[in-house]
Amino acid sequence: MKLKLLPLALIAATFFSCSSSDDTNNVDDTESSEEQNTNCSEIENYVFIEKDGLISVEFENAVFTDNWTQKNDGNNVSGKGYMVWEGDQYLGKPGEGLATYSIKITNPGTYRFMWKSAVKKGDSGSDHNDTWLRFADADDFFGKKEGSTVYPNDTGKTPNPEGSSKDGWFKVYRSGNDLDFKWQASTSDNDSHPIFVTFNNAGTYTMEVSARSSGHAIDKFVLFEESIKQSDATADDVKSSEITCKN
């Protein structure tokens, strides 16, 4: 009788040993996958994750063409520095010097857009002070102030902004003669409208930036729900959004 039970015991021991080994391998694979997903090494695969109605991104975290130059002079910049366009001006031709950002929205709604930028050429706050911006796959993209809303040209929506706009792109500018970095982003010449973007569903969207004025430098940008105060969204101690990788 003992001789008959022994093989059964060995079979049972072997079975549980194999099951335990398989479970361990599955856990290791999951942990490895999660680790890779939160340590994205290729900048072109970055996806910036919105959390609690806020996205905060260092502008240099994208792939840029040659005429975008990264610099880090001055004390009023964050991250690894800022990007400044040093190529030709494209005042009526958006899409040149293109850079893109993938943004994952977990809380659908309307977000205000702002960036922290400076004028690095000349001494006038009304020149070399703007860059093109587009959210082509968002549900809405508009400039809004009390009593007035404007939409980019060529989107089928009106009214459109004063000054340049084309193919769904807004000219986004900063104003004032304080040329150093500050948080401001407006559209419509001499009739400034803050910028807003609406995402009706959770998902990943694309933000596009292209060169317009040479000497316009950008350090950082944020998107924040209207329930969040501007001062909180743009505070110096706000952490950058978590980065994951495209699948």
- Residue with more model confidence, 166 or 125: 166
Query: pLDDT exceeding 90 applies to what percent of the chain?
Result: 81
What's the rounded mean pLDDT across residues 19-34?
Answer: 36
- Residue with more model confidence, 11 or 176: 176
Asked if 209 contacts 84 with a C-beta cutoff of 8 angstroms, the reply is no
Kindly indicate the confidence band of residue 8, based on its pLDDT and cuts at 50, 70 and 90: very low
Buried/exposed 24-44: b ≥16 CB within 10 Å, e otherwise: eeeeeeeeeeeeeeeeeeeee
Residue 191 sits in the same domain as residue 95: yes
Residue 84 sits in the same domain as residue 100: yes
Which pLDDT score is estimated for 4?
43
Question: Which CATH number is 135's domain given?
Answer: 2.60.120.1620
The Cα 113–Cα 46 span in angstroms is 19
The count of C-alpha atoms lying within 13 angstroms of the C-alpha of 44, restricted to the half-sphere facing its C-beta, is 4
Domain count, the chain: 2
pLDDT in tens, 211-245: 999 999 999 999 999 999 999 999 999 999 999 99
Residue 12 sits in the same domain as residue 78: no
Residue 62 sits in the same domain as residue 16: no
Residue 19 sits in the same domain as residue 111: no
What's the rounded mean pLDDT across residues 67-71?
Answer: 97
Structural domain range at position 13: 1-37
Which pLDDT score is estimated for 74?
79
Asked if 222 contacts 78 with a C-beta cutoff of 8 angstroms, the reply is no
Residue 24 sits in the same domain as residue 109: no
Residue 110 sits in the same domain as residue 200: yes
